[in-house]
Amino acid sequence: MLELNNLNTHYGLSHVLQGVDLVVKPGEVVGLFGRNGVGKTTVMKSIAGWLKPSAGSISLDGVDLGSLSPDRIARMGVGFVPEDRRIFPGLTVEENLSLGLLQHPGRSRAQERDALESTFKRFPRLQERRRQAGTTLSGGEQQMLAVARVLVGAPRLVLIDEPTEGLAPMIVDEIFAIIENLREEGMGVLLVEQNVHRAIKVSDRFYALERGQVIFSGDASSASDRERLMAAISL
């Protein structure tokens, strides 16, 4: 589904990503782990089109994404849940969700209503608060809204950046349950998460990033690979 080949990305003169290779297949959760500042969020933003690569390629089902705008990439089926959530102030929960429908501009009104109601069934807490301003929700509810806003657009690939940071344990459980459900529905998921012990349990494979480079990749079900990962990111 997703393939990064020798991806290089700069912030001005700073060479952040230095030859990243990465693959995400349909129906799998791939963890991207590493210490703060090693380039994990830059990978996500490069895929989503928020940053333009300086070299290498990003492809989705063989189609090059590197030169496309973020809205074109979203319409191709890539959903991005950023770390800061970006809930629109002044809009209700339902209005925030409706913006996710823009990923499919050809939908009929009936199809849009069905997509919203299906999303509310997945997130009953948001349904209870559908008329409430999005920015007045709790931190956990805002995270759910950020995820739901992406899912209402029916993506094939979901990029999720630090979804559980600062959330209560009960909400963390719900977020990881949602990620597992996405895999069961056949979506590809690329997950950046500092809670590695929890994230590795929902991941199929993982990549360890250090100084903008993949230092190794592993199988999340392998005890030796997990031990190597924890040693690498705790240095």
Tokens (6 digits) for 151: 């899912």
- Name the 3-class secondary structure at 125: helix
pLDDT tens digits for range 136-167? 999 989 999 999 999 998 899 999 999 988 88
pLDDT tens digits for range 216-233? 999 999 999 999 999 888
- Kindly tell me if the per-residue pLDDT of 189 is higher than 90: yes
Mean pLDDT of the 16-32 span: 96
CATH fold, domain 2-89+155-233, is Rossmann fold (3.40.50)
Please state, in angstroms and rounded to a whole number, the distance separating the CA atoms of residues 152 and 65. Answer: 22
pTM of the predicted structure, to 2 decimals: 0.91
Q: Mean pLDDT score of the chain, rounded to an integer?
A: 92
- Name the 3-class secondary structure at 127: helix
Name the amino acid, one letter, at 207.
Y
Q: How far apart are the first and last CA of the chain?
A: 32
Annotated domain spans of the chain: 2-89+155-233
Burial class for 84, CB neighbours closer than 10 Å (0-12, 13-18, 19+): exposed
Higher pLDDT, 86 or 106: 86
Q: 181 φ, ψ to 5°?
A: -65, -35
